[in-house]
Amino acid sequence: MNLLKNILLLFMLGIVGGAFALPNEKRSDPSGSVASISSTERDAQWRLEGERRYRANCGRCHQAPHKLPPRAMAMAIRHMRVRAMLTDDDMKYILYYMTR
Amino acid sequence: MSKIGIIAVVCLAATVVSAAQDAPPLEVDPDPAPVLSGYLAFVPTWDSGNPTLVSIISPVVLVPLSRDFVVESRASFEGDFQQRNGNSGDFTGAIEKSLDYAEIDYIGNRYVTLTAGRFLTPFNIFNERLYPNWIRNTQTDPLIFPIGTGSDNGAMVRGGISVENDLNVNYTFYFSTLSTGKYFESERHAGARVSLFLPVERLEIGMSTQHVLQGTRVNRYGFHFQWQPARPPFEVRSEVAYSREEGKGLWAEGAYRFRSSPSPELSRLQVVARTQVFRLGTLPGSNPDLPSTDMKRTEFGANYYLTDGWKALASYGRTFTSAGDSNIWTVGMTYRFVIPLVPSQ
């Protein structure tokens, strides 16, 4: 039982430490990963992926895409990151899909 | 301890490093702005022939302090108005006010979000994700809902990790302090929840555990399951809760939306069925919000989605106890609103 507690403690310390140790990757160069395709194709791909992730995650409670201004949607998606356990990638793709 | 500890740290590091190889997809991320959201619900309920006019207003305020710091809060004002003589006389009752959560979230990085303040207890999923009346498919609370749920004052670390885009691992660890202040009641306990979500299959399973650090020092365990297949408009939700002292039970709910119907009117209709069971623990009454006797309940209902915000509903259920059986009816309306607090763009 003590071993289990120790593992749990170390895991928690690790992830809390990671919150400050890892770089905060809020911006990225989209051309770095998809340089070989046009911006139109890239936009379509991101929308499609955003819609897929919206349906898989948000669609479990929401009936249809609820359109909001981009800044309000940026707020709502942060709220749902906590409430609905979205991953960082889910958050960005869905935000892209919901604001275009 | 040292060997196990090293293994745990190595496993964690390997997980983070392997996941970090997925580049973030987007650069577009507008600055967040404040939002006022929430819902209204009017759900008259007839339990054993006695009517209760359940009326709820629950505003949610979301305020960004920066791109990474967010303050969010939800309050509830609920009036359960009952007739003075049970099923005759005028309706009366007080409006109960509660602060469900008032927390500050810090988005640390791709894998970690830190939360401090008053937050919804992350035990199973109903409390955090399905509780608002405009979201839940069946309006009455599950019988096991009082086990391990409510609000906590403390701190929480949580996050999600994508593994090869077809598996999300979500975790939550938290602790809370004892508080008896009005509107700020909280137990002193520690707990964790881990869940696996398969986004392609839209299947989620998870486990919760909670250890109370006061009074009877009970342990509580939970298990949740949710499946919403991509093609048929069908969904299944289920939770199990176990506390040796307080009691144990489960509920399972299936809902079908006639989304593929050629009739636009019929496509807004959802039918739902839920069955549940509760068994008393070794210390009946230790959790006064739980039923005072063993109980089973099965319900059938229909929801009609007028828009994304408006929902009309009705349901019928039958409750089975050793003291006798009874009917429970609900009918009503819910409305969910979202209001940006800054002008567009």
Size of the A and B interface in Cβ pairs below 8 Å: 204
Under a CB-based contact definition with an 8 Å cutoff, are residues A47 and B92 in contact? Answer: no
How many distinct structural domains can be found in chain B? 1
Contact check, Cβ <8 Å, A99/B28: yes
The C-alpha atoms of residue B238 and residue B90 are separated, in whole angstroms, by 38
What is the extent of the structural domain holding A79? 39-100
Quick count: other Cβ atoms within 10 Å of Cβ B305?
A: 18
Which of B107, B125, B169, B204 should we substitute to test contact with A (largest number of A Cβ atoms within 10 Å)?
B107
The C-alpha atoms of residue B270 and residue B257 are separated, in whole angstroms, by 4
The model's pTM is: 0.85
How far away is chain A from the Cα of B47, in angstroms, using its nearest Cα?
27
Question: Per DSSP, what are the bridge partners of residue B46?
Answer: B51, B329
More confident residue, A28 or B35: B35
Supply the CATH number for residue B323's domain.
2.40.160.10
Percentage of chain B lying above the pLDDT 70 cut: 91
What is the extent of the structural domain holding B45? 3-340
The C-alpha atoms of residue A33 and residue A46 are separated, in whole angstroms, by 12
How far away is chain A from the Cα of B93, in angstroms, using its nearest Cα?
32
Q: Which residues of A touch B37 (CB under 8 A)?
A: 76
B345 belongs to a structural domain: no
pLDDT given at position B20: 45
The C-alpha atoms of residue B313 and residue B85 are separated, in whole angstroms, by 27
A99 belongs to a structural domain: yes
Query: Which of A2-16, B243-257, B285-299 has the lowest average pLDDT?
Result: A2-16
More confident residue, B26 or B55: B55
B85 belongs to a structural domain: yes
| pLDDT class of A14 with cuts at 50, 70, 90 | low
Under a CB-based contact definition with an 8 Å cutoff, are residues B46 and B328 in contact? Answer: yes
Amino acid at A22: L
pLDDT given at position A61: 80
Average pLDDT over residues A77-90: 87
A5 belongs to a structural domain: no
Give residue-wise pLDDT tens across range B122-167. Answer: 999 999 999 999 999 999 999 999 999 999 999 999 998 888 778 9
How many distinct structural domains can be found in chain A? 1
Percentage of chain A lying above the pLDDT 70 cut: 60
| pLDDT class of A11 with cuts at 50, 70, 90 | low
Q: How many CA atoms lie within 13 A of B301 on its CB side?
A: 28
